[in-house]
Amino acid sequence: DGGITQSPKYLFRKEGQNVTLSCEQNLNHDAMYWYRQDPGQGLRLIYYSQIVNDFQKGDIAEGYSVSREKKESFPLTVTSAQKNPTAFYLCASRPGQGSYNSPLHFGNGTRLTVT
Amino acid sequence: GQQLNQSPQSMFIQEGEDVSMNCTSSSIFNTWLWYKQDPGEGPVLLIALYKAGELTSNGRLTAQFGITRKDSFLNISASIPSDVGIYFCAAGGTSYGKLTFGQGTILTVHP
């Protein structure tokens, strides 16, 4: 079955440590996205990538970094510079620029807790 | 940036009742989407709307793309316990497929 896999489901880190969240898709989608979800605030865009080796900042990119070395993979690193990293992180994908109206497909998320 | 105002924030209803929620924006969008999220899971697409004035149904769900392209509503008829979850509106269709999300409506259905 095609889909988006996020791992791990739960992640715990100490403050000051960088942590990388994995996102892999086998949908052959060109575009991939990272969203952050906090209670009562909906989903906010962190970074997105329209094509391999290219990515752009979203609305809340500070304290995060990404890479897109392969079409299937879009890992997100939460750095120690992120002031409030505890949140639910969602990865999503969609077909490329020619289908800009197509909906996003979401993974099942990673819940990150930093203490 | 662009914002969507989704209401109500939460709803507590009895099984069998109908539900209505809506999203409004000061910006014009080309696409309106409605997602449902179960606890600890990713959002799942319910209905996609691509044309102003469009009314689309998916089983007990009906959604409309407002004629001004600045709003959308979702109705759920004859609610059942498995309708429980968070419902999000999302709008986009402009640059690079980025979506803007509403704050979500938390739906609780009492048997």
**pLDDT (tens digit, 9 = 90+) per residue, B25-49?**
999 998 999 999 998 899 999 999 9
Write out chain B residues lying below 8 Å of A44, CB-based: 101
The residue with greater pLDDT, A42 or A69, is A69
Size of interface A-B (CB pairs under 8 A): 69
Question: How far does the CA of residue B18 sit from the closest CA of chain A (Å)?
Answer: 23
* A35: Cβ contacts below 8 Å, ≥ 6 apart: A43, A44, A45, A46, A89, A90, A91, A92, B101
Contact A40 B103 (CB under 8 A): yes
pLDDT at position B47 is 95
| pLDDT higher than 90, residue B98 | no
Q: Are B93 and B101 in contact (CB under 8 A)?
A: no
Q: Are A35 and A43 in contact (CB under 8 A)?
A: yes
For range A7-18, the mean pLDDT: 93
Contact B41 A109 (CB under 8 A): yes
pLDDT at position A103 is 84
| pLDDT higher than 90, residue B96 | no
pLDDT at position A42 is 84
Strands B10-14 and B105-110, bridge-based pairing: parallel
The per-residue pLDDT for range B62-88, each reduced to its tens digit, is 999 999 999 999 999 999 999 999 999
Residue A21's pLDDT band, with cuts at 50, 70 and 90, is very high
Phi and psi of B53, rounded to 5°?
Answer: 85, -10
Residue B2's pLDDT band, with cuts at 50, 70 and 90, is low
**Contact with chain A for residue B63, Cβ under 8 A:** no
| Helix, strand, or coil (residue B97) | helix
Q: How far apart are CA A72 and CA A1, in angstroms?
A: 15
H or E element: which one contains A14?
none
| pLDDT higher than 70, residue B94 | no
Question: How far does the CA of residue B100 sit from the closest CA of chain A (Å)?
Answer: 8
pLDDT at position A97 is 62
CB-hemisphere CA count at 13 Å for B69?
Answer: 11
Residue B1's pLDDT band, with cuts at 50, 70 and 90, is low
Least confident of A26-30, B3-7, B94-98: B94-98
Residue A101's pLDDT band, with cuts at 50, 70 and 90, is low
Residue B101's pLDDT band, with cuts at 50, 70 and 90, is very high
Question: How far does the CA of residue B64 sit from the closest CA of chain A (Å)?
Answer: 16
* A16: Cβ contacts below 8 Å, ≥ 6 apart: A80
Mean pLDDT score of chain B: 93
Write out chain B residues lying below 8 Å of A101, CB-based: 30-31, 50, 92-93, 97
Looking at the partner chain, which of A40, A101, A108 has a beta carbon nearest the beta carbon of B93?
A101
- Burial environment of residue A2 by CB neighbours within 10 A (0 to 12, 13 to 18, 19 or more): exposed
